[in-house]
Amino acid sequence: MEKSKIWTNKTFNGVELLSASYTTFKFTKHWHDELAIGVIEEGAEGLFYRGENLVIPKYHIVAINPAEVHTGFSGSPNGWRYRMFYFNLKELNRQFANRDIPIDPIINRPMIYDEFLFHTLLQLHVSLESPSFELTKESLFILSLENLFREYGSAQKERFDSVCTRSSYLARDFMQDNFELNPSLSELEAVSNCSKFQLIKSFNAIFGITPHQYLLMIKVQNAKKMLSKGVSCVDTALACGFYDQSHFTRNFKKAFGISPSFYLADNA
């Protein structure tokens, strides 16, 4: 079945998103002004790029630099399902201002197999389609793009300062004390007095998870306490700062293997 959806998300300027599934559809020769980065979820995409035909199978990343002429077609009998980002270069340079990451030239290969990067990009794309915390979207954005440019672009390895231990604990304590809020990375940057890029790396080095993962953990832990006291699912979701009931249910079940409504019933 042929289907596609294109949208933007207000969190990031200059990023267009595509989610599509094609079986017989073929793109004619064209190019993008943006950097096109995609993840193949099912099947395989055929790609004519730089004078040769490529087949990019599922769990691989496709990378097409701006102004590069290419086509797209089915690389398997059942077609392909994929998600694409189209990044405006000016906006990318603004996002990574004062960093030692050269954004242009871009990516040195059209096909990438990298499990961590694949799943990070996939999570980012999904977070820009479904209700998600700003911290989640911003963290995944930085993690995926820094990894992409450093490993597969022309970037050099960054020399980081020592781990920002105090800053990481300040950010952690802020999230613990304000679990009902949905802070952005910029807010955590102000609280911790540590750049958002360094904070993510330092926080992960100390606690083993990223700030957005920690925030979700704190929220569901507090939600569990409230449910055990008989607070309704709706009131618990609101008190813990979830976007809506489905957002709450999805994250609670991921953490505890049971929906909040069943947990509430079992503890009634």
If you write DSSP's letter for every residue of 39-108 in order, what string do you get? EEEEEEEEEEETTEEEEEETT-EEEE-TT--EEEEESSTT-EEEEEEEE-HHHHHHHTTTSS---SS--S
Structure tokens at 76: 């398997």
Model pLDDT for residues 67-106, shown as the tens digit of each residue: 888 999 999 999 999 999 999 988 887 777 655 555 655 7
pLDDT at 28 (0 to 100): 87
Fold assignment, 214-266:
Arc Repressor Mutant, subunit A (1.10.10)
Q: Which pTM value belongs to this model?
A: 0.80
Return averaged pLDDT per consecutive 10 residues of the chain, 268 residues in all.
90 93 91 93 94 94 90 94 93 71 72 97 96 94 90 60 77 93 92 88 84 91 91 94 92 87 81
Cα–Cα distances in Å, from 186 out to 135, 171, 177, 204? 9, 11, 18, 17
- Which top CATH class is 3-152? mainly beta
Closest to 232 (Cα-Cα) out of 245, 250, 219, 247: 245
